[in-house]
Amino acid sequence: MIAVIQFGGSNCDRDSVRALESLGFDAELVWHEDGLPSDVDGIMLPGGFSYGDYLRAGAMAARSPIMADIRAAAADGTPVLGVCNGAQIGCESALTPGAFTTNESARFQCEHVYLRVENAETPWTSHYEAGEVVELPIAHGEGRYEIDDERLDELEAEDRVLFKYCDEDGSVTPEANPNGSKHNVAGIVGEDDHVAVMMPHPERASLEDLGRTDGEGVLEGFAQ
C-alpha cells in the first residue's frame, strides 16, 4: 500500500491517490496524526499548503511526529516521494538536502514546464531515457531550489539531480528556469535514490483524461 500523507492544507492528496490507483497501485490517504501504518510499501508527501505555509513552506509539517516514522521507514528502504509542498517538507525534514524558497518572480506560478531527465538510473526515472524531455505542470510560490554551491557541485557529481528545467529542445537555460532554482534543479534524490523530492507535479500528468501522461514514469518508481 502506498500511503499518501495528509496534513492540514494538503490539496493534492486525492489527486495523488487517483493517479496511483490508475497505475494499479493500492493507495490510501493517511492523516498525519494517525501515524504511519505498518504495512506501507511506499510513501508519498503530496502538494498543497500545509499549515498555510507559515514560517516557511513545509516547516511545520516537517515537525509532525509522523515524519520521524517516515524517516525511519526511508532508512529501512521504503520508497518516499515528495512533490511540491511534499518536496518542501522533504527538505525541511532532512530527507533530502537543500531547501525550496520564494520564486525569483516573488509570485505564485501555475504553468507547464519542460524538464530534462538528468539521471535515468533511479527508481523515479528508469522509465525515461537520460536527456529525455518531459512536460509537467508546476503550481508553487516557493519552488526555487537553493543550496550552497559546493554541496550542489557534490550532488551533480554524485548524479543525485533527477530533473532540470529546460526548453522544449532540452537546453538548460536561464530563460527556461521558471523560478530561479540553482542550476535549474527541479528534483533530487536523498542519500539513497529510493527517496526523492521534486517541485513539478507528476500526478497531474498521469491520466489520459488530463491530456498528458509524462508523469507516469515518476509514479512507477514505487514499483521498483
- What is the spatial distance between Cα 60 and Cα 67, in angstroms, rounded to a whole number? 11
Exactly one of 92, 118, 142, 203 is catalytic; name it: 203
Q: Do residues 172 and 166 touch, judged by C-beta distance below 8 A? A: yes
Cell of 94: 532532512
The DSSP symbol for 36 reads -
For this structure, is 156 an active site residue? no
For this structure, is 121 an active site residue? no
Exactly one of 183, 201, 216, 220 is catalytic; name it: 201
Q: Up-side HSE of residue 81: CA atoms within 13 Å toward CB?
A: 32
For this structure, is 140 an active site residue? no
Cell of 156: 551533480
Q: Which residue has the cell 490510501?
A: 28
Exactly one of 84, 92, 194, 216 is catalytic; name it: 84
The catalytic residue positions are 84, 201, 203
